[in-house]
């Protein structure tokens, strides 16, 4: 498996993975407002604008040229859009993406802290990878999440 930055034409496939896994694993803890807001955010033109402006970096993990999962980073060192196809979960793809994002934050963005707004069911996975909750569960604009962070050691 390899991890690399997604090319513009590959973003659509990443967005398909994000929406599919979100609907199966995350949407049930969101209110309708949060689901609608997330769906609007995931529109191709929105993501392209964020990526083209450099505000958002999208990476993918590939197995034999097949996109298995994706993770995005905001320039401030914040993880978003971290999803792996259900059929590929538990095979190391998610860990590769996370480690790549952490390394990128440290080496390219020169950050010492990486953050994420974790879906409630993902909190244990993030803890396993070294992140810690920094606040209680939040419900803001229909989105349910736990703010988490980790120090990136130099």
Share of the chain above pLDDT 90, in %: 77
- pLDDT score of 154: 59
Is pLDDT above 90 for 140?
no
**How does the average pLDDT of the chain come out, rounded?**
93
Domain extent listing, the chain: 2-151
How far apart are alpha carbons 83 and 151 in whole angstroms? 22
Burial code (b: 16+ CB inside 10 Å, e: under 16) for 5-20 equals ebeeebbeebbebbee
Which parts of 6-151 are beta strand (E)?
Answer: 56-63, 66-74, 78-84, 113-118, 132-133, 138-140, 143-151
Share of the chain above pLDDT 70, in %: 99
Q: Which CATH class is domain 2-151?
A: alpha beta
Using one digit for the tens of pLDDT, what is the confidence trace for 55-71?
999 999 999 889 999 99
Q: 24: helix, coil or strand?
A: helix
| Structure confidence at residue 39 as a pLDDT band (50, 70, 90) | very high
Question: Cβ neighbours of residue 115 under 8 Å, at least 6 residues apart?
Answer: 76, 77, 78, 79, 134, 147, 148, 149
């Amino acid at each position: 498996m390899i991890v690399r930055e997604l090319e513009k034409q590959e973003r659509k496939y990443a967005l398909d993975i994000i929406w599919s896994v979100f609907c199966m694993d995350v949407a049930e803890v969101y209110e309708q407002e949060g689901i609608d807001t997330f769906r609007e955010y995931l529109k191709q033109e929105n993501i392209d604008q964020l990526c083209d402006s450099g505000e958002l970096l999208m990476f993918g993990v590939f197995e034999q040229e097949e996109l298995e999962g994706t993770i995005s980073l905001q320039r401030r060192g914040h993880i978003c859009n971290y999803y792996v196809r259900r059929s590929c979960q538990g095979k190391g793809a998610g860990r590769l993406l996370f480690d790549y994002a952490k390394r990128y934050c440290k080496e390219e963005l020169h950050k010492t802290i990486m953050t994420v707004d974790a879906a409630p069911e993902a909190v244990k996975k993030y803890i396993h990878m070294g992140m810690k909750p920094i606040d209680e569960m939040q419900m803001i604009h229909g989105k349910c999440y736990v703010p988490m962070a980790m120090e990136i050691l130099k």
